[in-house]
Amino acid sequence: MNQPSKKASVIVIFGATGDLAKRKLFPSLYNLYCKGELEEDFAVVGVARRKLSNEEFRSRVHDAVIDTACMDKDDKHKQFSDHFFYQPFDVTKSESYQDLKALTESLDTEFNIPGNRIFYMAMAPEFFGTIALNLDAEGLIEGDGWNRLVIEKPFGHNFSSAQKLNDEIRQVFSEDEIYRIDHYLGKEMVQNIEAIRFANALFEPLWNNRYISNIQITSSETVGVENRGGYYEKSGALRDMVQNHMLQMVSLLAMEPPASLSTEEIRSEKVKVLRALRAVIPEEVSKYFVRGQYDAGEVNGTHLQGYREEENVDEASNTETFVGAKLMIDNFRWAGVPFYIRTGKRMTSKSTKIVIEFKDMPMNLYKEQSGKLGPNLLVIHIQPEEGMTLHLNAKDTGDMRKTTPIQLNFNNKQENYINSPEAYERLLHDVMRGDATNFTRWDEVALSWKFIDPISIAWANEKEPTFPNYASGLMGPQASDDLLEKDGFHWWPLPENK
């Protein structure tokens, strides 16, 4: 028998009949398999409430991967399916765990796996604690191999619920066995922030309050809440997007250069940023934060209904579908530099991008001919485009004393000729390799919630009388533009987002 690979493991997916498993986990596993990143020594056990046979489960997996790039390789798919098993499961019943234990142990033998386990929680968060405690009680994590627990968002809905969940899973798993997913950290260009900053002599010396006037992060969606009104009513954009994804991007942009690219060095630098975030006290929420809720609107000739008309949404809902904010990082590097963030649903375009705006030249030699010089901008395109654009000023052809704006572009997809791997593919691979760099450590989660809690409390206590305050298809309410205008800035790029 061959030596098992380092990644050899039984992957147990709790919630294997759900949306996440179908849309993200199965296709990612299949891509990894096709690319040869997974050898034959792995098995996937799907567990969920429904009664399914292995064959029925495999057919679902087949349907889920049918559109992936590798799908032409039929034989490959058959081989891949043979690694999948299903077990009906009741999270509260000890017999379910005992059956699971017996199955995973038999798969160890069948696939030459040395007892390694990945427990992937793709179920509603209220079950995470119960599952972890039962895995321990029923002896599923006492084998010889390693154990890793993958936890999906939301990790709590405020600091105290996050702490409770963390306490439960920490009774069973150590911090370095826990992989808290923030899928933004799996995105190519989010991972590229570190390389742009720390591998370019051009940027790092300028990356501070002497040369940067402000930083803007936009993550906009065109869709509304679709059929997830019930979930969204309890969450809102602040908890759904800002506490995790937006603050993670802020941390990567603002952190100090780590001593090395090791997991702990990087996470420790990110944590320091969160510690330096200026806390927003309830009385000052409106100074730093604006909230929005989409109204009906006409987009490309189609009438779209407002948030309050969506299914499972209160007709007088106080839930925000948009957040705009000004964050201040009170440390030597960033004192005085606002980080503006905005995120929301039913906005003009689906796009995530970061704009770093540099300060103006000390004087403008070209003003008579060219008027105001545009600032230098570094735009990092996270999705759907992946790349960056540097906005510069150059001499206008013909007129020596006149400048014209130019752009230097890098398009990651064009450059590599193939799509870069999906975030989930990368992150699953990281879990198998035991690399937790792109997952959030508990102190990051705790500090993010502590920052967010006063804002969500203030908003829950005070109904926003202007809701709904932006028409579907706009970039949020007017108050979001005003937030920057008060400081003499505006959202880039102009004018298409006006």
CB of 354 closer than 8 Å to CB of 192:
no
Residues facing residue 390 across a β-bridge = 378, 408
Q: Is 185 an interacting residue with respect to ligand NAD (CB under 6 A)?
A: no
Shortest reach from residue 338's CB to ligand NAD, in Å: 29
Q: Is 124 an interacting residue with respect to ligand NAD (CB under 6 A)?
A: yes
Q: Is 152 an interacting residue with respect to ligand NAD (CB under 6 A)?
A: yes
SS3 403: strand
Written as one letter, the residue type at 480 is S
Q: Is 123 an interacting residue with respect to ligand NAD (CB under 6 A)?
A: yes
Shortest reach from residue 12's CB to ligand NAD, in Å: 12
Among 65, 122, 132, 252, binds ligand NAD (CB under 6 A): 122
First to last CA, the chain: 64
CA distances for 151 relative to 86, 135, 250, 430, angstroms? 20, 15, 22, 14
| Only segment of 70-78, 84-92, 293-301, 386-394 that touches ligand NAD (CB under 6 A) | 84-92
| Only segment of 77-85, 149-157, 164-172, 422-430 that touches ligand NAD (CB under 6 A) | 149-157
497 Cβ contact partners less than 8 Å away, ≥ 6 residues apart: 348, 349, 475, 491
Residue among 83, 157, 183, 245 flagged as catalytic:
245
Q: Is 89 an interacting residue with respect to ligand NAD (CB under 6 A)?
A: yes
Distance of alpha carbon 236 from alpha carbon 241, whole angstroms? 8
Shortest reach from residue 442's CB to ligand NAD, in Å: 18
Residues numbered 4 to 63 that lie near ligand NAD (CB under 6 A) are: 15-20, 23, 48-50
Let me know if 77 is a catalytic residue.
no
Look-up: residue for tokens 């150059």?
Answer: 394
| Only segment of 146-154, 294-302, 363-371, 478-486 that touches ligand NAD (CB under 6 A) | 146-154
Q: What is the size of the binding site for ligand NAD (CB under 6 A)?
A: 20
Among 153, 270, 353, 441, binds ligand NAD (CB under 6 A): 153
- DSSP secondary structure letters along 100-164: HHHHHHHHHHHHT--S-EEEEE-S-GGGHHHHHHHHHHTTTT-SSS-EEEEEPSPS-SSHHHHHH
Which tokens in the block code for residue 106? Answer: 């038999």
Look-up: residue for tokens 């933004």?
Answer: 184
| Residue of this chain nearest to ligand NAD (CB atom) | 18
Shortest reach from residue 276's CB to ligand NAD, in Å: 28
Measured from the CB atom, the residue of 290 and 431 that comes closer to ligand NAD is 431
Phi/psi for 473 (5° steps) reads 100, -5
Among 114, 125, 129, 145, binds ligand NAD (CB under 6 A): 125
Q: Is 90 an interacting residue with respect to ligand NAD (CB under 6 A)?
A: yes
Shortest reach from residue 292's CB to ligand NAD, in Å: 22
CB of 338 closer than 8 Å to CB of 487:
yes
Contact positions vs ligand NAD (CB under 6 A): 15-20, 23, 48-50, 89-91, 122-125, 152-154
Please give the positions annotated as active site.
245
